[in-house]
Amino acid sequence: MIQYDSRLWFSFLFDFRAGQIRRLLPSMLVMAAFTAVVCYLDFVKGLYKIEIPLTVHTLMGVVLGLVLVFRTNTAYERWWEGRKLFGALVNSARNLAIKLDAYLDPSSLETRHVFASCISAFAILLPKHLRDEITDSDLQILDNAYRSTVADAAHKPLAVVKIMTNQVQTLRAENKIGAEQFLAISQNLNELVDALGGMERIKKTPIPFSYSMLIKRFIAGYVLSLPFGLIHDFRWAAVVIVPFIFYVMVGIEFIAERIENPFGTDEDDLPTDDIAQNIARNVKEILHSAYGEPIEEKIEGEIFSAKK
């Protein structure tokens, strides 16, 4: 995700680094060429006289606009829900680390280290799990005693939670934590699993296929018929107007496609890896008996800088 200053108006207007422009420019050129061919065959060759009243495109544009608004709002709702779930993950991980720091004996360095590595591993593995790209190097944060167990698990984040749950059960059995403390820690572990389940729900439930295909066909029919409705009013200026309308219509759908699954690596997706790294830093700092020193926060996302 790109961090930016919304007041940089002119910088946005003349910056072409965004993927939207790069992806749509070839299609815009094709639409300009198609419109030019229609104008040439009509005005120069006089081969046909097809004219679609602008009223047709006006009515279609109103309907298409409403559909695109609903499409964008639905995609943004998924994006924002993903961000709220990651926010809940941050809070749960911090609360868990704070409680463990308070409940555990300061001299229990090994136990503190196990929990710090497990909470950090859960946070770091989660976004990679959502992208199906967990590697062996991602497991190096875990202790050797647990690394092979997580590596062999089909669902690695859940395997990490299971390790922490077993550790909490052991602490309770050995009376190193009380019953109320056990329940408080268990609640935070449940919250980690709840956040995981919410993120998986977003990832595994895309926008219905039929709805997505209808929008794409509607947009295609609208923009392909647009030259026949504009050339007789705007003549050769339609060569510029049609690609611009194409950019607006298709660009909205393009944005919705990019943000409906917010756990990827596109520039508009959530900075999940950066958030996970910050969780690991926070946990290590909280459980200071094992790690000793404050760790600087990582900037979440890419900083937008205006071209000079």
CA nearest neighbour of 103 among 6, 17, 187, 177: 177
**pLDDT above 70 (res 4):** no
CA nearest neighbour of 130 among 281, 270, 257, 301: 270
Structure tokens at 91: 């809070």
Structure tokens at 47: 């081969």
Structure tokens at 22: 């790069």
pLDDT of residue 269: 87
**pLDDT for 239-267, tens place per residue?**
999 999 999 888 888 888 888 999 988 88
Q: Residue 195 and residue 84: Cα distance in Å, rounded?
A: 9
pLDDT of residue 234: 87
pLDDT of residue 290: 46
Q: How far, in Å, are 159, 163, 168, 276, 296 from residue 142 at the CA level? A: 12, 11, 17, 15, 21
Bridge partners for 2 per DSSP: 302
Q: List, in sequence order, the alpha helices (H) in the chain.
A: 9-13, 19-39, 54-103, 109-130, 144-152, 156-173, 179-204, 209-234, 238-259, 272-286, 288-291
Provide the 8-state DSSP code for 44: I
**pLDDT above 60 (res 292):** no
More confident residue, 187 or 11: 187
pLDDT averaged over every residue in the chain: 86
Q: What are phi and psi of 13, to 5 degrees?
A: -65, -35
Least confident segment among 5-19, 237-251, 281-295? 5-19
More confident residue, 211 or 8: 211
**pLDDT above 90 (res 25):** no
